[in-house]
Amino acid sequence: MPKAFIFPGQGSQYVGMGSDLYHAFENARERYDCAADILGYNLSEISFRGPEDELRKTQFTQPAIFVHSIIIDECLKISGINPTAVAGHSLGEFSALVSAEILSFEDALQIVKVRSYAMAHAGTINPGTMAAVIGASDKQLKIICDQIGIVVPANLNAPGQIVISGEIEAIDIALATAKNLGIRRVVPLNVSGAFHSPLMTSARESLKEVINSVNFKDAKVPVYQNFVAKAVTDLKAIRHNILNQLENPVLWSDTIIKMMENGMTEFIEVGPGKVLNGLNRGINKKIITHNFDKMEHLDAYAML
């Protein structure tokens, strides 16, 4: 049965993530040791013990999720579970590129390091925020985003499940507009910036520089990218897409639909939490999605 590995992005982190893997697997300890050398701080300490406010900071969140996801990816493959295709939600796309062997762990972590700091800095110099809008039609979403100031769709996660991003005051007005339209639910998100919006433009040059400095290899399996919602194999296009992902929406719903159209029948969420499992249910209730976050999940999956 074709299996797609899908990798979560920022927001799926939790204090304690990866601790059981670290104590059980040598490859996990090696990855955290390597990460400490590249990042210049003890990522395992922040991942395992927090505090939560520290782990939530973009510059720590992104490497923590990335390293955790890659360790799980390796554990699955050691167990004989391999993907037919891969995709990742925002940050998760870098995990997908490693899984497909387009990037090495070390090179991808260098990109994630630069990306996380650049995005955190962009959030400081161009303050912004994000919010989830649940139950809006396309027409209503257009009205919600039509504000004075910057408000754009950032994550098109599932039908009627959209995240908007933009300037703080403009987002506040957009949420008030949504409530006036009778939208079922609007949820301000606790984030440090307006990700996937023009407010991230200041991060572009440093991200472009590090992307162009590392070696990309031919993909072992198809990678479905956020920016275009389809499988991409051309290395120039892959570089272009992960750079443009920074300021443009994550086309997650379209990505999953395209993977299903291309024969993917089973999805494995590789990384912390169950965010993507929930999104997949919103996209199509027939989608089978398994989660592998901890050791116990691998054992349970092997028994299916």
Catalytic residue among 12, 69, 90, 192: 90
Largest CA distance in the chain: 54
Residue 101 near residue 222 (C-beta atoms within 8 A): no
- Is 90 a residue of the active site? yes
Pick from 82, 98, 114, 137: nearest CA to 205: 114
Sign for the pseudo-dihedral over CA of 74, 158, 261, 240: negative
Are 35 and 299 in contact, with CB atoms under 8 Å apart? no
The yes-or-no answer on residue 290 being catalytic is no
Distance of CA 253 to the CA centre of its chain: 13
- Out of 95, 196, 197, 253, which one is annotated catalytic? 196
- Sequence letter at residue 28: A
Burial 17-35 (b: 16+ CB within 10 A, else e): bbbebbeebeebeebbeeb
Q: What residues contact 15, with CB distance under 8 A and at least 6 apart?
A: 47, 48, 49, 50, 51, 52, 55
Annotated catalytic residues are 90, 196
